[in-house]
Amino acid sequence: MSATAPSPESSAPVVTPMLELRDVQAGYGPFRALFGVSLSVRQGSVLALLGSNGAGKTTVARVCSGLIKPTKGKFFFEGRDVTRERAYRLARMGIAQAPEGRSVFASLTVEENLTLSLRRALGRSGAAGGLARAYEMFPPLSQRRRQVAGTLSGGEQRMLALARVLADPPRLLVCDELSLGLAPIVVDEVYRTLAAIRDAGTTLLIVEQHVAHALSIADDVAVLVKGRVTYDGPVAEMGDLSERLLPTGEARPPSPNGQ
């Protein structure tokens, strides 16, 4: 639950964001990738972090997962300064990074992969219920429950990897390029699942090059250009800014009728 406190001037509560970066600089050795990035993700919302190749999106995701430490600036989780916390501690607090690629045990079946994660997260007694939920979220996995994971298609393996993370839904899920290398129909499936996860209460930070998909479920959007935030606000108010801010030209938010 996000901490709330009444503001002295008004009755509107001041809501602490679930995640907040304040003026973060970060990079790799002497190379600086982020130049004073500030952004926040409201509890229960979806923030799409957009930008072209090399803009710094993955670096932001790594900062949020604790894999890279800022050289300057602060990182808060639910109002707590976690700038110096190790990645495993952040994971314990409820921040999970959706695995890139195909993080599955290739020689185990779909069901064995899921059961391993579920037992670790929920214990033996909770695993059966978790398995049912996973199959409900990902019907294609249900059809392939006895298939060895290494023989699944790339998209199915991505789906299984995501399903394993979601055995124990995190409080904040950081997704980095989930659609990469997936057939459009599988991407649709993955995004439907992300929407279901959001509806179940998980806050999402989605890093994507596939703008249309990210915007289809995002509440807010932040645009990175060369390590700096050039737009940060609700998707609904993004308007024509999108074309100016994103070099790909793919940035138009979906129209109300979905065309």
Q: How far is the CB of 222 from ligand ATP (least distance, A)?
A: 12
- Stretch in the footprint of ligand ATP (CB under 6 A) among 50-58, 63-71, 89-97, 244-252: 50-58
What residues from 196 to 255 belong to the interface with ligand ATP (CB under 6 A)? 209
The count of other CB atoms within 10 Å of the CB of residue 25 is 16
Distance, in Å, from the CA atom of 223 to the CA atom of 239, rounded to the nearest integer, reads 13
Q: How far is the CB of 185 from ligand ATP (least distance, A)?
A: 23
DSSP code for 255: P
Rg over alpha carbons for the chain, rounded to the nearest Å, is 19
Distance, in Å, from the CA atom of 189 to the CA atom of 149, rounded to the nearest integer, reads 18
Residue placing its CB nearer to ligand ATP in the complex, 31 or 258? 31
Q: How many residues bind ligand ATP (CB under 6 A)?
A: 12
- Structure tokens belonging to residue 173: 């899920």
**Taking CB under 6 A as the rule, which mask of x and - marks residues 114-133 in contact with ligand ATP?**
--------------------
Q: How far is the CB of 114 from ligand ATP (least distance, A)?
A: 29
Phi, psi of 249 (to 5 degrees): 75, 5
Residue placing its CB nearer to ligand ATP in the complex, 93 or 212? 212
Query: Using an 8 Å Cβ cutoff, are 157 and 140 in contact?
Result: no
Query: Using an 8 Å Cβ cutoff, are 156 and 104 in contact?
Result: no
Taking CB under 6 A as the rule, does residue 51 contact ligand ATP? yes
Query: Using an 8 Å Cβ cutoff, are 245 and 223 in contact?
Result: yes
Taking CB under 6 A as the rule, does residue 57 contact ligand ATP? yes
Taking CB under 6 A as the rule, does residue 63 contact ligand ATP? no
Taking CB under 6 A as the rule, does residue 30 contact ligand ATP? no
List the one residue from 6, 13, 54, 139 that touches ligand ATP (CB under 6 A).
Answer: 54
What sections of the chain are H helices per DSSP?
Answer: 57-65, 87-93, 110-137, 139-143, 154-165, 184-199, 211-217, 241-245
- Stretch in the footprint of ligand ATP (CB under 6 A) among 17-25, 27-35, 69-77, 145-153: 27-35
- Cα-to-chain-centroid distance, residue 142: 24
Q: How far is the CB of 156 from ligand ATP (least distance, A)?
A: 23
- Cα-to-chain-centroid distance, residue 241: 23
Q: Name the residue type at position 167.
A: A
Taking CB under 6 A as the rule, does residue 109 contact ligand ATP? no
- Stretch in the footprint of ligand ATP (CB under 6 A) among 37-45, 46-54, 123-131, 244-252: 46-54
- Residues forming contacts to ligand ATP in the complex (CB under 6 A) are 28, 31, 33, 51, 53-59, 209
